[in-house]
């Protein structure tokens, strides 16, 4: 499937065009948003453990900063491309604007498979990439975070490298150049599970509005990394049960339920869900056809094309991944009466808590877990309600409603500030 995937940037542009029409975004602003402000590509050599040097290609795309510093993750994956990063950067702009967080949108990555490298090679690749980015990132300018293939440790190496190449006097003020750090190095309580937690807030709001009992409900999750595993563990606490999941290596199912905690331990040991003793192997086609109440895509973009949309048998799709649904597949879901909570709302818990981490670093504070979780819950529920109301008033999809709320905020800032000179 991945070889025939459409261009994600084209999907992002189609989405922008559709929503811009609904909310009446001025053409000039839509055209600004149709391209990123900056697209940076760096090629840098790194010494491998065997003493040889290898050249890597890294990207940082800064989509828009009218509402605040560029903000967005760093992806390490063999399929990374400029157009993919451009799409992801634009979705970050809309995600932050939707939540009224004072950040813009950016995204970056390196085209390589982190699984093929040792920890010491990963450290040198990360440090060399951060050095190559130089002053193109900064705590008030462009703030990276984890994404596919990266984690808290990678963020700490980025932070440490940045801190050591800029001025010494304000070294600690630069801690917030990245978010999603480990707790010991300035991260926030609740950041690691925040995206999964935000997904579950959306699901519980959706269920509450429909008097749908999550206790006894079933769900499936594509991708069992940070987002997929945390969403599974938190959703399981409501009494819902995970019956199918999968990752880069393959798919597994168990109609009686899969314990996401035990599966998480297994994946941490082996690197994949495949071979987990508490489930049987199934094909990708069988995975998409598994009847469940809720489906959470939490892997890569454009995994739900026309065949997958036709196969899906569920009541709700909650986009944990960014851009998992092709535009041609979305009407099929709608025709089948499947509700869809769009990525910029569903997976926004991560950037919300990244913002809290950035604020804590800026103020030299440490908030306890309860405070972070309380603030996240309040913000997710408020934004969910706003999207719901907008969709009902304008009779549009939740994706268009979420995008329109974001575009209204961005449009207002542009119309007040004007375009320089």
Residues identified as active-site:
107
Interaction between residue 326 and ligand NAD (CB under 6 A): no
Shortest distance, CB of residue 344 to ligand NAD, whole angstroms?
Answer: 10
Q: In this chain, which of 350, 367, 398, 411 binds ligand NAD, going by CB under 6 A?
A: 350
Task: Give yes or no for residue 397 binding ligand NAD (CB under 6 A).
Answer: no
Residue from 204, 226, 232, 361 touching ligand NAD (CB under 6 A): that is 226
Of the candidate residues 8, 186, 225, 411, the single one contacting ligand NAD (CB under 6 A): 225
Residue 188 within binding range of ligand NAD, rule CB under 6 A: no
Per CB under 6 A, the segment of 21-29, 61-69, 217-225, 356-364 that binds ligand NAD is: 217-225
Contact between 248 and ligand NAD per CB under 6 A: yes
Map the footprint of ligand NAD across residues 156-185, applying CB under 6 A.
none
Minimum distance, C-beta of residue 325 to ligand NAD, in the bound complex (Å) = 12
d(CA 391, CA 22): 11
Q: Does 2 bind ligand NAD (CB under 6 A)?
A: yes
Q: Please report whether residue 300 would count as binding ligand NAD according to CB under 6 A.
A: yes
Q: Which is nearer to ligand NAD, 228 or 342 (CB)?
A: 228
Stretch that binds ligand NAD, among 127-135, 162-170, 257-265, 318-326 (CB under 6 A): 318-326
Interaction of residue 146 with ligand NAD, rule CB under 6 A? yes
- Based on the shown chain and the rule CB under 6 A, indicate whether residue 64 belongs to the binding site for ligand NAD: no
HEC per residue, the chain: CHHHCCCHHHHHHHHHHHHHHHHCCCHHHHHHHCCCCEEEEEEEEEECCCCCEEEEEEEEEEEECCCCCEEEEEEEECCCCHHHHHHHHHHHHHHHHHHCCCCCEEEEEEECCHHHCCHHHHHHHHHHHHHHHHHHCECCCEEEEECCCCCHHHHHHHHHHHHHHCCCCCHHHHHHHCCCCCHHHCCCCCCCCHHHHHHHHHHHHHHHHCCCCCCCCEEEEECCCHHHHHHHHHHHCCCCEEEEEEECCEEEEEEEEECHHHHHHHHHHHCCCCCCCCCEEECHHHHHHCECCEEEECCCCCCECHHHHHHCECCEEECCCCCCECCCCHHHHHHCCCEEECHHHHCCHHHHHHHHHHHHHHHCCCCCHHHHHHHHHHHHHHHHHHHHHHHHHHCCCHHHHHHHHHHHHHHHHHHHHCCCC
| Residue corresponding to tokens 């990360």 | 126
Q: Are strands 241-247 and 250-258 parallel, antiparallel or unpaired?
A: antiparallel
Find the shortest distance in angstroms from Cβ 155 to ligand NAD: 11
Considering the rule CB under 6 A, would residue 154 count as an interface residue with ligand NAD? no
- Which residue's C-beta sits nearest to ligand NAD? 225
Is the CB of 253 or the CB of 299 nearer to ligand NAD? 299
Judge if the upstream peptide bond of residue 421 is cis by omega within 30 degrees of 0: yes
Neighbours of 218 (CB within 10 A): 18
Size of the site for ligand NAD (CB under 6 A): 24
Choosing from 224, 266, 288, 356, the residue that interacts with ligand NAD (CB under 6 A) is 224
**Judged by CB under 6 A, does residue 347 bind ligand NAD?**
yes
Least distance between ligand NAD and beta carbon 225 (Å): 2
Q: What is the closest distance, in whole angstroms, from the C-beta atom of residue 248 to ligand NAD in the complex?
A: 4
Q: Contact with ligand NAD (CB under 6 A): which of 13, 218, 222, 400?
A: 222
Q: Which is nearer to ligand NAD, 25 or 314 (CB)?
A: 314
Choose between 90 and 195: whose C-beta lies nearer to ligand NAD: 195
Q: Residue 411 interacts with ligand NAD (CB under 6 A)?
A: no
Site of interaction with ligand NAD (CB under 6 A): 2, 146-149, 195, 222-228, 246-248, 298-300, 320-322, 347, 350
């Amino acid at each position: 499937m991945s070889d025939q995937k459409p261009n994600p940037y084209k999907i992002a542009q189609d989405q922008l065009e559709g929503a811009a029409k609904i909310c009446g975004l001025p053409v000039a602003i839509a055209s600004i948003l149709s391209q990123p402000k900056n697209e940076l590509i760096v090629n840098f050599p790194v010494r491998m453990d065997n003493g040889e040097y290898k050249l890597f290609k890294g990207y940082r795309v800064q989509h828009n900063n009218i509402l605040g510093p560029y903000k967005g993750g760093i992806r390490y994956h063999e399929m990374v491309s400029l157009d993919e990063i451009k799409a992801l950067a634009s979705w970050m702009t809309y995600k932050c604007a939707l939540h009224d967080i004072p950040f813009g949108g950016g995204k970056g990555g390196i085209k390589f498979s982190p699984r093929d490298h040792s920890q010491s090679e990963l450290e040198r690749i990360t440090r060399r990439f951060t050095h190559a980015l130089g002053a193109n990132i900064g705590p008030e300018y462009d703030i990276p975070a984890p994404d596919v293939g990266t984690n808290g440790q990678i963020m700490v190496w980025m932070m440490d490298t940045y801190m050591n190449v800029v001025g010494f006097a304000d070294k600690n003020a630069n801690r917030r150049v990245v978010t999603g750090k480990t707790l010991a190095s300035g991260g926030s309580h609740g950041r690691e599970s925040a995206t999964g937690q935000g997904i579950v807030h959306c699901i519980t709001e959706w269920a509450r509005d429909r008097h749908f009992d999550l206790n006894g409900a079933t769900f499936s999750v594509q991708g069992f990394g940070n987002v997929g595993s945390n969403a599974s563990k938190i959703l399981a606490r409501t009494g819902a049960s995970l019956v199918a999941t999968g990752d880069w290596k393959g798919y597994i199912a168990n109609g009686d339920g899969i314990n996401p905690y035990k599966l998480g331990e297994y994946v941490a040991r082996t690197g994949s869900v495949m071979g987990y003793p508490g489930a049987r192997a199934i094909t990708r086609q069988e995975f998409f056809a598994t009847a469940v109440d809720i489906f959470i895509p939490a892997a890569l973009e454009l995994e739900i094309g026309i065949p997958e949309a036709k196969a899906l048998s569920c009541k709700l799709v909650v986009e944990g991944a960014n851009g998992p649904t092709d535009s041609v597949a979305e009407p099929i879901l709608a025709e089948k009466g499947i509700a869809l909570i769009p990525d910029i709302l569903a997976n926004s818990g991560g950037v919300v808590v990244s913002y809290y981490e950035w604020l804590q670093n800026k103020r030299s504070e440490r908030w306890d877990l309860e405070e972070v979780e309380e603030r996240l819950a309040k913000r997710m529920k408020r934004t969910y309600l706003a999207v719901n109301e907008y969709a009902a008033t304008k009779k549009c999809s939740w994706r268009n409603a979420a995008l329109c709320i974001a575009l209204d905020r961005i449009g207002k800032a542009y119309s007040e500030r004007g375009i320089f000179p």
